[in-house]
Structure 1
Amino acid sequence: MEWTITKNKEWSHLEQTFPWVADMQHVPQDAVHHAEGNVAIHTRMVLQALQAAAQYQALPPQQQQILWAAALLHDVEKRSTTQQEGSHITAPGHARRGERTARAVLYTQVPAPFAIREQVAALVRYHGLPLWAMEKPDPVKSLLEASLRVQMPLLALLAEADARGRICADQQDLLDRVELFRAFCDEQQCWQTPRRFADGLARFTYFRKENGSPEYIPYDDLKGEVIMLSGLPGMGKDTFLKKHYPGLPVVSLDDIRRRHKLKPEDTSATGWAVQQAKLQAREYLRQGQPFAWNATNITRSLRTQWIDLFVSYKARVRLVYIEVPYNDWLRQNNNREHAVPHAALMHLLQKLEIPAPHEAHEVVYVV
Structure 2
Amino acid sequence: MNNLTNWLSTLSQDSKPTFEECKTYLAQHLPLLNEFVRTEQDDIWHAEGNVAIHTDMVLQELYKVLDSDAPHITGERRQALVLGALLHDIAKPLTTRRKVLNEKERIVAPRHEEQGRSYLALRLCELPLSHTCIDSVLGLVGYHHLPKLLVIKNQDKSEYLRLAGNADTELLYWLEVADMKGRICPDLENQLSYLQEYRMFCEEYGIWEAKDMYKLIPKAIQVKENTISQIYLNNLAVDQILRREITVPEEAVAKTYAYAERYSNFVIMCGISGSGKSHWIKNNLADFTLISLDEIREEINGSRENQKSRGQVLQIAKDRLKFCLAKKQNVVWDATNLRKDFRDTLCTLGRNYHALITLVAFQQPITSIRKGNTNRQHAIPEDILDKQISNFQWPEFGEAQRMIVVGEKGKVLSYQGSFNFEGNEMQLQ
Q: Same fold (TM over 0.5)?
A: yes
User: Using a 3 Å threshold, how does the CA distance of structure 1 residues 56 and 339 change in structure 2: closer, same or farther?
Assistant: farther
Deviates most, 192-201 or 120-129: 192-201
Does the alignment pair 1:22 with 2:34? yes
User: Using a 3 Å threshold, how does the CA distance of structure 1 residues 3 and 302 change in structure 2: closer, same or farther?
Assistant: farther
Does the alignment pair 1:243 with 2:283? yes
Counterpart AA for 1:80: L
Q: In structure 2, what is the equivalent of residue 191 of structure 1? A: 208
Counterpart AA for 2:394: I
Deviates most, 337-346 or 321-330: 321-330
Counterpart AA for 1:197: I
Q: Deviations over 1:106-141 (max 9, x none)?
A: 134x35333221211110111111222123374433
> In the aligned structure 2, how far is the partner of 1:89 from the partner of 1:5?
36
Q: In structure 1, what is the equivalent of residue 119 of structure 2? A: 101
Counterpart AA for 2:236: L
> In the aligned structure 1, how far is the partner of 2:178 from the partner of 2:98?
26
Q: In structure 1, what is the equivalent of residue 423 of structure 2? A: none
User: Using a 3 Å threshold, how does the CA distance of structure 1 residues 2 and 231 change in structure 2: closer, same or farther?
Assistant: farther
Counterpart AA for 1:32: I
Residue 214 of structure 1 and its aligned partner are, at CA, apart by 4.6
Question: So what's the TM-score if we normalise by structure 2?
Answer: 0.78
Q: Which runs of 5+ in 2 are unaligned?
A: 219-233, 408-429
Q: 1:1-367 residue pairs with structure 2 within 5 A? A: 4=8, 9-16=17-24, 18=27, 19-53=31-65, 54-86=68-100, 87=104, 88-108=106-126, 110-136=127-153, 138-192=155-209, 193-195=211-213, 196-198=216-218, 199-209=234-244, 212-215=246-249, 216-217=251-252, 218-222=255-259, 223-259=263-299, 260-261=301-302, 266=307, 269-367=309-407
User: Using a 3 Å threshold, how does the CA distance of structure 1 residues 90 and 5 change in structure 2: closer, same or farther?
Assistant: farther
> In the aligned structure 1, how far is the partner of 2:283 from the partner of 2:52?
48
Secondary structure at 2:268 match in 1: strand
User: Using a 3 Å threshold, how does the CA distance of structure 1 residues 77 and 366 change in structure 2: closer, same or farther?
Assistant: closer
Residue 95 of structure 1 and its aligned partner are, at CA, apart by 1.0
User: Using a 3 Å threshold, how does the CA distance of structure 1 residues 180 and 2 change in structure 2: closer, same or farther?
Assistant: farther
Counterpart AA for 1:181: Y
Residue 353 of structure 1 and its aligned partner are, at CA, apart by 3.2
Q: Deviations over 1:48-92 (max 9, x none)?
A: 000111244432132221111111111122222222223322211
Secondary structure at 1:228 match in 2: strand
> In the aligned structure 2, how far is the partner of 1:2 from the partner of 1:129?
33
Deviates most, 272-281 or 228-237: 228-237
Residue 315 of structure 1 and its aligned partner are, at CA, apart by 2.1
Q: Which runs of 5+ in 1 are unaligned?
A: none
Question: So what's the TM-score if we normalise by structure 1?
Answer: 0.90
State the aligned residue count.
364
